[in-house]
Amino acid sequence: METIRVVCAHDCPDMCSLLATVEDGRVVRIQGDPDQSFTAGFACAKVNRDMELVHSPDRLKTPLRRTGPKGAGEFAPVSWDAALDEITARWQAIIAESGPLAILGYAYSAHQGQLNRGLLLGFFHALGASRLAAGTVCDTCCEEAWNLTVGPVGGADPEAVDDSDLIVSWGADLAATNVHFWARAEAARRRGVKVVVIDPRRSRTARAADWHLPVRIGTDAALALGIMHILVRDALADRAYIAAHTTGFDRLEAEVLPRFSPERVAAITGLAAADIEKFAALYGAGRRSFIRIGEGMTRLARGGEALRAVALLPGVTGAYGRRGGGALLMTAASCELDYAAIRKPSGPAETRTVNHLRLGDALLNFADPPIRALFVAANNPAVTCPEANKVRAGLAREDLFTVVHDPFMTATARYADFVLPATTYLETADLYRAYGTYYLQSAPAAVAPQGEARSNFQVAQELARRLGLSDPVFREGTEALIGRLLHGAKTAAGPLDPAAARSGKPVRIAPQGGQQFRTPSGRLEFYSPQMAAMGLPPMPDWQPDPEEMRDGARWPLRLLTAPGYFQAHTAYSGVGFLRRREGQPCCIVHPDEAARRGLADGDKVRLYNERAAIGLVLRVSDEVQPGIVLVPGQRPDNETVAGTVNMLVADRYTDIGDGAIYQSTFLDLAAWDDAAKEARP
Ligand SMILES: Nc1nc2c(c(=O)[nH]1)N[C@H]1C(S)=C(S)[C@@H](COP(=O)(O)OP(=O)(O)OC[C@H]3O[C@@H](n4cnc5c(=O)[nH]c(N)nc54)[C@H](O)[C@@H]3O)O[C@H]1N2
Ligand SMILES: Nc1nc2c(c(=O)[nH]1)N[C@H]1C(S)=C(S)[C@@H](COP(=O)(O)OP(=O)(O)OC[C@H]3O[C@@H](n4cnc5c(=O)[nH]c(N)nc54)[C@H](O)[C@@H]3O)O[C@H]1N2
Ligand code: SF4
Ligand SMILES: [Mo]
């Protein structure tokens, strides 16, 4: 028996340090590493089961070549050499006829290691293929809005929450998605610090908090501006901090805030004016109030504006200047590795880009040249991408040559011409830096690749070799490539010591002192000249969105989407225990909405709009308010009654960052009709 120090590579802000116990080449136990102070002692409920993910009977064992129609999931095993030779021969023929832009590499974040995530991107960069504008399904809206407000720099250190005097979880279900931060927040509560949750639904986090403000979906900008209105009115704004560290507050104060009286904000947000007053007083009294900003409020048409307004609040009270105060969206921007060495080894500076969330559109509508070859890794767009039916129509194109690299036979892989078995992170070595905490750590593989699985890293190098790409990064080993990443590396804690980074132990890289601002002015920007130049409103405001108003008039319910507790997208669907713990894929409505339709808890229901109809099991609960249907997680079709939630979602962009607008989806609900099984409107 051996214990190996590893790092959790799932897409999660915590980046836990883990101990893997290995016996006879098998992972038999996963625990939190007690030597890392933030994630100390425990892994989450999902990763505690990762031995079952690594050794799942559902793992792909060999490469597969399609034998049936696209999407049917009929395949026969082939050798790696045969698969890679045929893939590269097809690509060479496509490049000869249509150029490299006819190829799209669609690789994302399921392996958070810098090499396993980055080198596939580097391969497609060097090839000059159409380039993925990645992450628009996830965080580009919130990230860009933060960058335009605070600058490309990490937020408050989550460990500083030990010094906070108020904790606000704004649009984040911390008990599900950020469990180690939540553990710290709970410890603070035991010391008497108040925890407030601002979320349209009574999430697990909201239930455990001191106070839950059930804000109406998409109205956070109005709430934040209303709080600022009261802070100004009651002389709770820190004028010295505003003068020294911010720009444009005078204009916001004169031109925007007067319109956000508590009464108007109450009408917009659905909160009581008295509660808005009470929260503003609490926030204004806090010297070190910590806002953990989630992505929830940004997954809708005007999400960028919402994030900007919330991220400006700690500038009004000066909380940004004090340890334990401020706001945390992400931390990654403060860890400056030489990412380009891996992700952009060579290749044209500019090529055609494909927005991650518009894969369906790219596959169906791009011309000159059309996308003729698609390579998907660490991503399951047939389920997780908006307009999932458009994605599938694109994947079903007979003239599209598709390769999917994944540890499991996913809904996307079923459409592939070749499926390649991928390792999981426990079978790979890599260098990690967190995006929700200030840590960096290298880690070895815990066990050898299972079956014939190969890592993203290895596949990138083998494809590059076969295509004659000569960049050294496609020949070097992990140690050499980690050296490239660390070259000149800077962190919020100063220059990075390469020996520490390679030691396999967690390295803390947290900033000291107050929040830094990396905007063009070097200040927190209430008024953003950059945004004015981009044709965007330079100051946050709140207005109804015309398309949402139109769809809201047509359909009685609005979609609320939130991460599953025992699932993260589809990444754990290979673990039977977690599937059962998450329960049958469901949607949740308020008792009034169920009664109005004569529906009861446990009924199979049809969720539909002009785009599609899907089938889920109904749960009835007042954790959501009337007018909302909550669909937790993105469960694949083989688990649902029919279809998957993103079939209902449009591929429109958010106001900032071209992100996904899951929650600008409007729909209705009816009893499921077994006779009409198909997922059609
Ligand atoms: N309706 C709705 N849709 C959403 C969201 C939402 O809130 N609501 N959230 C969005 C967000 S935040 C995100 S990030 C996306 C996530 O969307 P995806 O990136 O598609 O996420 P997963 O479903 O987890 O797919 C990851 C795949 O990678 C595979 N995998 C795991 N490890 C490796 C590896 O090392 N190598 C390779 N090659 N494959 C690996 C897994 O088996 C899995 O099939 O979904 C988005 N979609
Ligand atoms: N267990 C689990 N953990 C995960 C994931 C997962 O799927 N499952 N996904 C991982 C990934 S890829 C990511 S990007 C992160 C995602 O992390 P986040 O997107 O920050 O997810 P949550 O923390 O659940 O925040 C979403 C919350 O926002 C609320 N919300 C929705 N709309 C609004 C609104 O208009 N206003 C306000 N105030 N709140 C709103 C939802 O009800 C929900 O509780 O989590 C990561 N961790
Ligand atoms: S909390 Fe996040 S980082 Fe930690 S073990 Fe779970 S998924 Fe991994
Ligand atoms: Mo994400």
Asked whether 491 and 335 are in contact (CB, 8 A), the reply is yes
Residues in a beta bridge with 491: 335, 494
Note whether residue 500 is domain-resident: no
Distance 676 CA to ligand 3 centre (A): 40
Q: How many structural domains is the chain composed of?
A: 3
- Lowest-confidence region among 36-40, 152-156, 251-255, 586-590: 36-40
State the SS3 of 34-58.
CCCCCCCCCCCCCHHHHHHHHCCCC
* In a shared domain, residues 591 and 650: yes
Closest residue CA from atom 6 of ligand 2: 568
* In a shared domain, residues 168 and 192: yes
* In a shared domain, residues 169 and 301: yes
Cα–chain-centroid distance for residue 361? 21
Note whether residue 29 is domain-resident: no
State the SS3 of 335-374.
EECCHHHHHCCCCCCCCCEEEHHHHHHHHHHCCCCCCCEE
Ligand that comes closest to the CA of residue 303: 2
* In a shared domain, residues 242 and 318: yes
Classified as helix, coil or strand, 671 is: strand
Give the model's pLDDT for residue 679: 47
User: Which of 634, 647, 652 has most ligand 1 atoms within 8 Å of CB, for mutation?
Assistant: 634
Q: Is residue 96's pLDDT more than 70? A: yes
Ligand that comes closest to the CA of residue 174: 2
Q: CA 284, CA 201: separation in Å to the nearest integer?
A: 25
Q: CA 294, CA 264: separation in Å to the nearest integer?
A: 25
- Whether ligand 3 lies within 6 angstroms of the CB of 20 is answered as no
Ligand that comes closest to the CA of residue 563: 2
Note whether residue 565 is domain-resident: yes
* In a shared domain, residues 114 and 243: no
Give the model's pLDDT for residue 40: 83
Asked whether 28 and 8 are in contact (CB, 8 A), the reply is no
- Residues whose Cβ atom is located within 5 A of ion ligand 4: 138
* In a shared domain, residues 659 and 557: yes
Distance 277 CA to ligand 4 centre (A): 33
Q: CA 403, CA 63: separation in Å to the nearest integer?
A: 10
Q: CA 395, CA 374: separation in Å to the nearest integer?
A: 9
Average pLDDT of the segment spanning 216-228: 98
- Reference 310, options 334, 279, 333, 287; nearest CA is 279
Give the model's pLDDT for residue 528: 98
Average pLDDT of the segment spanning 480-502: 96
Distance 10 CA to ligand 3 centre (A): 7
Note whether residue 39 is domain-resident: no
- Whether ligand 3 lies within 6 angstroms of the CB of 161 is answered as no
Residue-wise pLDDT for 515-563, tens only, equals 999 999 999 999 999 999 999 999 999 999 999 999 999 999 999 999 9
Residues 6+ away with beta carbon under 8 Å from 261: 226, 229
Residue by residue, DSSP assigns 121-186 as HHHHHHHT-BEEETTTTTTHHHHHHHHHHT-SS----GGGGGG-SEEEEES--HHHH-HHHHHHHH
Residue-wise pLDDT for 437-470, tens only, equals 999 999 999 999 999 999 999 999 999 999 999 9
Percent of the chain with pLDDT over 90: 98
Closest residue CA from atom 8 of ligand 3: 8
Closest residue CA from atom 6 of ligand 3: 44
- Whether ligand 3 lies within 6 angstroms of the CB of 175 is answered as no
Residues 6+ away with beta carbon under 8 Å from 202: 212, 214, 622, 623, 624
- Whether ligand 2 lies within 6 angstroms of the CB of 296 is answered as yes
Last residue of a domain, one of 504, 533, 562: 533
Closest residue CA from atom 4 of ligand 1: 384
- Whether ligand 2 lies within 6 angstroms of the CB of 12 is answered as yes
* In a shared domain, residues 313 and 340: no
User: Which of 18, 39, 47, 567 has most ligand 3 atoms within 8 Å of CB, for mutation?
Assistant: 47
Q: Does a cis peptide bond (omega within 30 degrees of 0) precede residue 345?
A: no
Distance 182 CA to ligand 3 centre (A): 13
- Reference 622, options 587, 584, 582, 589; nearest CA is 589
Give the model's pLDDT for residue 117: 97
* In a shared domain, residues 373 and 286: no
- Whether ligand 3 lies within 6 angstroms of the CB of 8 is answered as yes
Ligand that comes closest to the CA of residue 10: 3
Question: Over the chain, what is the mean pLDDT?
Answer: 97
- Whether ligand 3 lies within 6 angstroms of the CB of 14 is answered as yes
Classified as helix, coil or strand, 390 is: helix
Ligand that comes closest to the CA of residue 406: 1
* In a shared domain, residues 563 and 658: yes
- Whether ligand 3 lies within 6 angstroms of the CB of 578 is answered as no
Q: CA 661, CA 358: separation in Å to the nearest integer?
A: 12
CA end-to-end span of the chain = 55
Average pLDDT of the segment spanning 355-374: 98
Distance 529 CA to ligand 1 centre (A): 35
Give the model's pLDDT for residue 442: 98
Distance 195 CA to ligand 4 centre (A): 24
Residue by residue, DSSP assigns 591-608 as HHHHHHTT--TT-EEEEE
> Structural domain of residue 107, as residue ranges?
64-136+336-431+453-477
Note whether residue 508 is domain-resident: no
* In a shared domain, residues 291 and 373: no
Average pLDDT of the segment spanning 313-338: 98
Average pLDDT of the segment spanning 178-195: 97
Asked whether 534 and 147 are in contact (CB, 8 A), the reply is no
Q: What is the CATH classification number for the domain harbouring 529?
A: 3.40.228.10
Average pLDDT of the segment spanning 471-496: 97
- Whether ligand 1 lies within 6 angstroms of the CB of 112 is answered as no
Quote the Cα angle for 568-569-575, to 5°: 65
- Reference 570, options 346, 378, 307, 308; nearest CA is 378
- Whether ligand 1 lies within 6 angstroms of the CB of 111 is answered as yes
Note whether residue 404 is domain-resident: yes
> Whole-structure pTM over 0.95, yes or no?
yes
Residue found by looking up tokens 């949750």 in the block: 197
Distance 385 CA to ligand 1 centre (A): 9
* Residue 677: pLDDT band with limits 50, 70, 90: low
Q: CA 384, CA 646: separation in Å to the nearest integer?
A: 7
* Residue 612: pLDDT band with limits 50, 70, 90: very high
Ligand that comes closest to the CA of residue 202: 2
* In a shared domain, residues 277 and 147: yes
Classified as helix, coil or strand, 674 is: helix
Q: Is residue 605's pLDDT more than 60? A: yes
Note whether residue 317 is domain-resident: yes
Q: What is the dihedral of CA 133, 427, 373, 96, to 10 degrees?
A: 100
- Lowest-confidence region among 41-45, 107-111, 170-174, 180-184: 41-45
Closest residue CA from atom 45 of ligand 1: 384
- Lowest-confidence region among 33-37, 224-228, 454-458: 33-37
Distance 205 CA to ligand 3 centre (A): 17
Residues 6+ away with beta carbon under 8 Å from 681: 608, 609, 610, 611, 612, 613
Ligand 1, atom nearest to 384 Cα: 47
Q: CA 286, CA 291: separation in Å to the nearest integer?
A: 11
- Whether ligand 2 lies within 6 angstroms of the CB of 11 is answered as yes
Give the model's pLDDT for residue 681: 43
Q: Is residue 663's pLDDT more than 90? A: yes
Residues 6+ away with beta carbon under 8 Å from 137: 356, 357, 384, 385, 386, 659, 660
Quote the Cα angle for 263-265-271, to 5°: 90
- Whether ligand 1 lies within 6 angstroms of the CB of 663 is answered as no
* In a shared domain, residues 393 and 472: yes
Ligand 3, atom nearest to 18 Cα: 5
Asked whether 634 and 383 are in contact (CB, 8 A), the reply is yes
Q: CA 610, CA 621: separation in Å to the nearest integer?
A: 26
Q: What is the CATH classification number for the domain harbouring 605?
A: 2.40.40.20
Q: What is the CATH classification number for the domain harbouring 74?
A: 3.40.50.740
Asked whether 62 and 452 are in contact (CB, 8 A), the reply is yes
Q: CA 98, CA 162: separation in Å to the nearest integer?
A: 57
User: Which of 54, 297, 406, 457 has most ligand 1 atoms within 8 Å of CB, for mutation?
Assistant: 406
- Reference 381, options 373, 372, 390; nearest CA is 390
Note whether residue 381 is domain-resident: yes
